Structure 1
Amino acid sequence: MHFKNAPLYAAVAAAVVTMTQPTLAIAQDEQAQLEEVVVTGTRNLKPRTVSDSPVPVDVLNSEEFNSLGNTADITDNLKSLIPSYTATPATGDGSAFIRPTSLRGMAPDQTLVLVNGKRRHRAALVQFFAPAAGDGAHGVDIGMIPSIGLKSVEVLRDGAAAQYGSDAIAGVMNFRMKDDSEGGSVMVQYGEFFEGEQSMKIGANGGFAIGESGFLNLTGEFYENDGLSRGDQRPDAQALIDAGNQGVGSDAVFDDAPFTQSWGRPETEGYRLFFNSGFAVGEESELYFFGNYAETEGRYRFFYRSPDHSSMNKLRDEFGYDGPLNETGYTPYLDGDQTDYSIVGGWKGNWSNDLFYDFSVGWGKNELDYFLNNTTNAALGLGSDGEPVKMDFDPGDLEQEELNFNADFGKALTDNLFLGFGAEWREETYTIVAGEPDSYNGDGSSGLAGTKPQDAGEFDRDNWAIYGDLEHDITDEWLMQYALRYEDFSDFGDTTNGKIATRYRIADTFTLRGAVSTGFHAPTPGQANVRSTITTFDGATGLQVEEGLVPPDSDIAQQNGGAPLTEEKSTNYSLGFTWDFGERTTLTLDGYFVEVDDRIYRTGDIQTDSDGTISFFTNALDVEHMGLDLVLTNDMFWDDSTSTTFTLAYNHNEIEVVGQSLVDGIQPVSDAQVEDIENNYPEDRIVFTANTRFADNWWFMFRTNWWGEHYDERGTINGEPGDRSKEIGDVWYVDLELGWDITENWNVTLGGSNVFDEYPDEIKDDGVYANRVSVGLPYPRRTVTNYEGGSWYLRASYNF
């Protein structure tokens, strides 16, 4: 049971830090009266506003959220708007298709994701190639949500496990989908990077009335993105070219031949569909349904296999190979196809005793299908033509499926006291599908060995929870909130968590707020059961090695210190204020301190007596996160037709690993990896936005993102020359957007992302800093600043 040393802890509330774009011409007096309200974090039927908020929530409206072009998916949109939210470049196996993300420097699965207030299912991928802070996480792929279908996005920056259950350690993201019963829009966008790669997106959204009181809102989005190539030629490949070898790099798949290795965003395309609907049943209740279907395809290029690679040596030495690969080598590439679908249905309303009810059931599934191209399994030998008998393999698939039942209730006990309570049952199923025999027999397919039948299987667990929230307006100035949640899991046991939060309005313009809570992240069936062979790099020698990932409760893991996983446990503290000064200026400042114990992490390579090198997940680390968020907004009216909304958002975040649980008497996570957890993300981040509306039908958006200094993951900060981590300097990226309402229905927008074509620092082979020059990458591989470069885009929209 997890309840730390605290009394009954709080229910999080719905707070708001508004960062809105003036996309409609609103009279000055009318705009001054507008207040944003949110539903995330409270079960009270009376919506909370900014001044009522005990904890902060960022609220992004649809127009602002979509004021960005050439993005791979909405991960990049969030990254450009929320300073404490980061996403690294898509690199490495499945992480090339499902992006590793972080809120407040925590793991992807330590942020709970909701759609229309209901829990979103996880992706099928357990992250093996995320940055250090996210390694081993099993989170949600928000990239399956179509951006044009969003009404708003609410990002609650505080722990909320006492209300929502597992994963809400760093915070909660709630994606609210459009619910209009009429009207809509059609959008076409084309863009190019300054290096020449193209991107395209087509989207449509429309609302339809169903009867007198129902609605059906439909969204469709299709996109296509070229793969980016931002590296240099590998020195070993260049040496082959200089020696006169013909065809080196001719197997390039991103139009970047003769490069033998491609660094940058993968090639992607696909479509995303979403529906949202509601129907009145009588005067006091409503049936609702929403869901999605998405199919996406991605392609990512692996490490180059030169003619002296072990697979080539085996083909020559054991089978006498003398074909063209002896001159050129080869580069495998991985196709990752996702299918994602979900449906949620419910019935909500009020009974005659004014008891609010919301019964819902939700089901979701994510499938990730791999196909490995242009590689070898040297053990298969040669075909009749003298070439490798096979160079394309099906290494297996991954699936994640979830089923949720919820019963939520709420009742105003008095004018000042509201009680919310309910129950939940959830089942998660993680499935590993075996690959074709040629992908795992013998040496296995080089780059991603197939899953063996004995490693495949279906793994599930279920849990149930009961919870209660109490909101008490003690006076008009003082609000208290409480929450308590008990949850029982079929695999590791039970946990109890709570929260207490308060807001006190000292004056009409100044409010104090704070919260204390406990929280948890339950180990997922994927983390507890995944088996794989990982191609990684030995921490001592730097050489490429094959490492077996085994379940933590398997015999081989337990012989080497493994044990069944238990939950991660957290204690969150926050304190801040909101201050409205001047006529149209608001400042919010919130400090936080989060302790996370028993953080689930993958061990380093462990040498066994008979099974080679293995790793497994374990409750390894105790981590502390400390920082503050500042948001300053101002509305400036220059004249009757011209206004500007300014927003300055700043985050400072520090991470410290304060303890490890030893495995067989040794640290499961190396000192170098701990250093990466603490230093790979910048401690400071700023987003400044100015949105100007002028001449009634024009607007101009200026946004700049600044990332502070941070360290590359290669080497160590005080390492020996040649193995020292490079400090990556701060960098500014500037985005611009100019829009014109041609008519009441037609709009055209010209925009640029990173218009000054800035890149992070290069890491050169200078004998001091550890680098990736030998594999053709001049930049830090997983820096949150990315190394995509600048781009422009043109978007046309028709609104009806």
Structure 2
Amino acid sequence: MALATTAPFAVNAQEEEQAEDKKFEQIIVTGTRMTDRSAADSPVPVDVISGEEFRQNSSSDVQDMLRTAVPSFDINTQPISDAATIVRPANLRGLSPDNVLVLVNGKRRHRGSIISFLGGGISDGAQGVDISAIPSMALKQVEVLRDGASSQYGSDAIAGVLNFILKDNAEGFEVQARYGSTYEGDGDNFIVSANAGLPLGDEGFVNVTAEIREVDGTIRSVVRDDVAFQIENGYTAVSDFALINGYTSDVPQYWGQPDVEDDIKFFVNSEYDLGDQTTAYLFGNYGERMVTGGFFYRNVVGGPSGQRGGVYRGPLVDPTTGLVDDDGVPSVLVGDLDGLDAGGSCIAGIPLGGQGGVNPDPTFLAQVVADPNCFSFIETIPSGFVPRFGGTNEDMAITVGIKGDLDIGSGLYYDVSAQRGSNRTDFFIKNTLNASLGPDSPRDFVPGGQEQTETLFNANFVYSVDVGLESELNIAFGAEYREEEFDLFAGDEASYALGPLASQGFASSSNGFGGFPATTSASQDSTAVYVDLEADVTENLTLQTAVRVEEFSEFGNTTDFKLAGIYHVSDELRVRAAYSTGFHAPTAGQANITNVTTQNVNGVLVDQGTLPLSSVAGQLAADFVESAGNGRPQLGPEEAVNYSFGVGFEIAGSNWTVDYYNIQLEDRVALGANVDFLSALNFAGGTGSDFATVSEALTTLDANGVIDRQDFLGLDDLSQFRFFSNSFDTTTWGIDVVGNVNFDFLGGESRLTVAANYNETEVDSVGEVNPISDGRVSAIEDLLPNTRANISWSHTEGKFTTLLRANYYGGWDDTGNGVPGIGAEVLIDAQVSYQHSEQLQFVVGVDNLFDTYPQENPNQGGSGQLYSESSPFGFNGGTWYVQARYVY
């Protein structure tokens, strides 16, 4: 059943006529290959959301719009999430972003270039599609298939399918401008978009959409405990911290909605009738944007979270000599610029003492400053620092094809296409350093980039034959070849360099996000064939079945099938059910990525790495894991079993669907639990190895010929690491309820729409070879609300249309950040539009009318995060917007 069948805003005459024709019967193209199947008659649930309803909120991002329209779709703000800030991971039915298939005009959309290493537990390690590259103005409608469909579409179609269908008008022009902000006065944003339909001769059309958008960041952080501690105990160098980082408030850390600048999108959709029932088509896009987010504060001289290792934290030293003493006091690290065994010598660290034990000894500090051979970052960056991380993202794709009907018997419909798409991100990190380079370190770096490129050739055929059933038997069959390539681009040398001070305890690489030391490329391909059968067996019964065989160059074969049916008990009541198997194959990026990120673990910042299982370091990891006796890690496809059943009924003029679903996933592709890097290196060193630091271990093992130091560039400050492998099993089940009713009210026309979802995921097994952590189990099971719902009422009377929407978010837990038992919330949205003329419309709206925020973090001072970054409705509070729309 459709979520929406009419738009509450006034539209032009052509759109009104089309909307009226389809008011009670939405023809769908997702989940079926019949040309006249309606959403109401589909054997599996398919929601149809019109482009107008899709845009009825303050957001300027398609993913946030989708969150409002589809209760089982979740997307977070990602304030400090490394690359996930640039391409945000989204979840459908609580599953990973790469468990949902995204289509544009029914064709598979290429993945984004970002692998979400900080995905909030649910999305950790996922490489999903960059949905935000799609401008909402380009959309005719969005079809959401809420069922498994791997046998029909291939890898990833486990949680469901999102099909973004582009506008196909051959005439008309529309331009829209919107400006908005938060109640707090930050987060200013604007979007200007335009769509034009043009005839292509007498037999075709070209529909073009362009959009430009910018979003200012927000700050929802508090003064960190360690900053307050330092100031309170006399270390006043951090008091001007905010000014150093470009802010006039006393907030010591940028934490909030990221900045989005120069966000430009362009989409085109075109068809041309060649005659003889043959049509050529082309659609594609180009887009680019720059996203900048925040990182955590790097502490100088102590406090609850300690000093930043590899930059400021020195060894325990004798307070009278500044030399290493295991029974001494904490210190600020000092480097000997001409080497430990050459020229003059330096103290090991500047002793900390005085009130609160945080003040550097002024005598030793002066000594270090005066000696050009000795260096400490307290000389040049005494306040500490917060890196600003981001990237420029470029997305492009083109699909060309030809489709038609060969008039042989009942006719053979064909659709043959070729497409190529790519998504590239080039990273930057500012206001940081490569500590191992000492005073020669730059403050801004280009750590490199990564790109996902996909090429796909597809041939689909549909043939209908009379076999004595109520309808002809619809036989669909086809083949597909898909190749994907994942490229890593080397960063500037300083971003990964192992500088001269690395052996003295100073961390290598750009702090916070180390650069890629080399340009690498990895690829894989797959070939698939499928058969899809569908027919009305009787007047009341429709059955559908599909089988797909797919072979991967890296992971072998998989065969999946589906059986679904719907039975019309009466004109008002129908029941449906489906059973299918599915799969998700690891991407080339997941199998080959190397990445080091900084995370806040129990209030302490540590570097955590991801290494390819096939790399030298990855095999060292596999040896260490295998030594525990549970087997050797492997990487291959994950397998799924989906079954669902539901009912659709009409009562008192309203339409309702209720659907139950169950998704069992085995051998899920995952980043396993973190492995202690030093322990793995000690294991590699053999019996008797007892290295004190990672740097010492790497240097010694290289000298002994066990490893090549060049294979471990950028890993000197690595505390923990992990790798992709097949790991855990889960069961996800839930219920979707969708209903709508149209009625007359107060002399106008009203529409009430209800959409609700209950979803629950349970980890059946954490995995034996490479188990996931307890924290990730908690995130998978509890980080998202089990219950989501929205109720929308729209009313049109004369030139005015009003919309009220209540969004319900059930309770959830963020135990990983120490925020259990977060309560449920209801957010109210309101919008009023005025149709000034047939062409011109004005809109005023508010989202989160009553300025609702999530529950505050109880330990907010430890990280500076006022709210949980996993909040399902964000943390910006109320937002308002004004909009003007012109249609010709």
| TM-score normalised by the chain length of structure 2 | 0.82
Give the SS at the match of 1:89. Answer: coil
CA contact (8 A) 1:439 1:450 kept: yes
CA contact (8 A) 1:334 1:373 kept: yes
- Out of 698, 705, 711, the position equivalent to 2:813 is 711
Instruction: Please list the CA deviations of residues 433-458 of structure 1 after superposition, one character each: whole Å capped at 9, or x if unmatched.
Output: 111121111311111111122xx410
1:533 Cα offset (Å) = 1.7
Q: Distance in 2 between matches of 1:638 and 1:692?
A: 8
State whether structure 2 residue 620 is matched by structure 1 residue 556: yes
Alignment of 1:168-317 (within 5 A): 168-197=157-186, 198-241=188-231, 243=234, 244-245=236-237, 246-253=239-246, 255=247, 257-269=249-261, 270-308=263-301, 309-310=308-309, 311-313=311-313, 317=334
User: Paired residue for 2:462?
Assistant: 410
User: Paired residue for 1:347?
Assistant: 402
- Out of 388, 395, 398, the position equivalent to 2:447 is 395
CA contact (8 A) 1:364 1:401 kept: yes
User: Paired residue for 2:562?
Assistant: 499
Q: Distance in 2 between matches of 1:517 and 1:346?
A: 30
- Out of 508, 516, 524, the position equivalent to 1:461 is 524
Identical-residue share of aligned pairs (%): 36
1:785 Cα offset (Å) = 2.5
1:714 Cα offset (Å) = 2.0
Give the SS at the match of 2:254. Answer: coil
Q: 1:631 to 1:551 in 2, by over 3 A?
A: same
User: Paired residue for 2:788?
Assistant: 685
Give the SS at the match of 1:166. Answer: coil
Give the SS at the match of 2:446. Answer: coil
User: Paired residue for 2:96?
Assistant: 107
Alignment of 1:710-729 (within 5 A): 710-714=812-816, 725-729=819-823
Alignment of 1:586-605 (within 5 A): 586-605=655-674
Larger Rg: 2
User: Paired residue for 1:755?
Assistant: 849
Give the SS at the match of 2:67. Answer: helix
Q: Distance in 1 between matches of 2:42 and 2:106?
A: 18
1:133 Cα offset (Å) = 1.7
Q: Distance in 2 between matches of 1:402 and 1:694?
A: 49
1:356 Cα offset (Å) = 0.4
Q: Distance in 1 between matches of 2:658 and 2:778?
A: 29
Q: Distance in 2 between matches of 1:322 and 1:135?
A: 34
Q: Distance in 2 between matches of 1:106 and 1:313?
A: 40
Q: Distance in 1 between matches of 2:202 and 2:845?
A: 41
State whether structure 2 residue 421 is matched by structure 1 residue 359: no
| Runs (5+) with no aligned partner, structure 1 | 1-14, 384-388, 716-723, 765-770
Q: Distance in 1 between matches of 2:229 and 2:274?
A: 74
CA contact (8 A) 1:240 1:328 kept: no
State whether structure 2 residue 133 is matched by structure 1 residue 144: yes
1:68 Cα offset (Å) = 1.2
CA contact (8 A) 1:100 1:131 kept: no
1:54 Cα offset (Å) = 0.9
1:49 Cα offset (Å) = 1.4
CA contact (8 A) 1:128 1:136 kept: yes
1:19 Cα offset (Å) = 5.5
CA contact (8 A) 2:156 2:585 kept: yes
1:81 Cα offset (Å) = 1.2
Q: Distance in 1 between matches of 2:379 and 2:849?
A: 43
Q: Distance in 2 between matches of 1:472 and 1:791?
A: 49
1:537 Cα offset (Å) = 4.4
What is the Cα-based RMSD across aligned positions, in Å?
2.0
User: Paired residue for 2:730?
Assistant: 623
Q: Distance in 2 between matches of 1:523 and 1:241?
A: 49
User: Paired residue for 1:79?
Assistant: 67
1:421 Cα offset (Å) = 0.3
| Runs (5+) with no aligned partner, structure 2 | 302-307, 315-331, 336-373, 499-507, 627-631, 683-697, 699-718
State whether structure 2 residue 774 is matched by structure 1 residue 671: yes
Q: 1:139 to 1:441 in 2, by over 3 A?
A: same
| TM-score normalised by the chain length of structure 1 | 0.91
Q: Which amino acid aligns with 2:526?
A: N
1:416 Cα offset (Å) = 2.5
Q: Which moved more, 1:177-186 or 1:308-317?
A: 308-317
CA contact (8 A) 1:70 1:793 kept: no
User: Paired residue for 1:328?
Assistant: 383
1:621 Cα offset (Å) = 0.8
1:394 Cα offset (Å) = 0.9
Q: 1:713 to 1:399 in 2, by over 3 A?
A: farther
Q: Distance in 2 between matches of 1:784 and 1:749?
A: 26
Q: Distance in 2 between matches of 1:32 and 1:473?
A: 22
Q: 1:60 to 1:570 in 2, by over 3 A?
A: same
1:237 Cα offset (Å) = 2.3
1:53 Cα offset (Å) = 1.4
Q: Distance in 2 between matches of 1:713 and 1:621?
A: 20
User: Paired residue for 2:705?
Assistant: none
Instruction: Please list the CA deviations of residues 543-584 of structure 1 after superposition, one character each: whole Å capped at 9, or x if unmatched.
Output: 32223311123322331345341111000010001101123x
User: Paired residue for 2:511?
Assistant: 446
- Out of 707, 714, 720, the position equivalent to 1:613 is 720
1:29 Cα offset (Å) = 13
Alignment of 1:415-564 (within 5 A): 415-442=471-498, 443-453=508-518, 456-538=519-601, 543-554=604-615, 555-559=619-623, 560-561=625-626, 562-564=632-634
Whichever structure has more helix as a proportion of its residues is 2
1:191 Cα offset (Å) = 0.7
Q: 1:474 to 1:433 in 2, by over 3 A?
A: same
